[in-house]
Amino acid sequence: MLRLIRVVGVVAGLTGAWACSTDEQCPEDTIDQAVRYLKAHQSCETDADCVIVSDYCETLPSGTCGQLIVSRDGAASADWKSLDARLRACAPGDCIVCNAAVIPACSNGSCSPY
């Protein structure tokens, strides 16, 4: 029983890390900037060069179960961290991110789901 409680706590913690914060709508220019940024940061050489980021409760298009794929360098940049903070501040507050098996992969030099 204790093991089940720990598993539920871990899953809830992971979901909470992706949860969105308010019930406002994001400005269209913020969404457009994020979409352009993600498209421009897909370059990779190996699967390890690609990571998952949130789609902010479907605020950004083309997400799969709350997840989008971007290059590791793109996700680590100050520009993305700024966009991430803005999106988290305005994305819907009530969403669920499932634990779908979205696996980032590098295919022909571009990050994509496996």
Rounded distance between C-alpha atoms, residue 80 and residue 112, angstroms = 18
Q: Which of 26-35, 88-97, 100-109 has the highest mean pLDDT?
A: 26-35
- In this structure, the chain runs to a length of 114
Q: Residue 8 has what pLDDT?
A: 31
Give the per-residue pLDDT at 24: 61
Tokens for 2, please give them. Answer: 């204790």
**Cα 87 vs. chain centroid, distance in angstroms?**
11
Residue 3 pLDDT > 60, yes or no? no
The DSSP H or E segment spanning 12 is helix 2-18
pLDDT > 90 in the chain, percent: 58
Q: Among 111, 102, 112, which residue's Cα sits nearest to residue 44?
A: 111
The predicted structure's pLDDT at residue 9: 34
The strand pairing partners of 71, in sequence order, are 50
* Cα separation, 67 vs 75, whole angstroms: 13
Question: For residues 80-91, b (16+ Cβ closer than 10 Å) or e, as one string?
Answer: beebeebbbebb
Answer yes or no: is pLDDT of 17 > 60.
no
Whole-angstrom distance, CA of residue 91 vs CA of residue 110? 27
What's the mean pLDDT when you consider all of the chain? 81
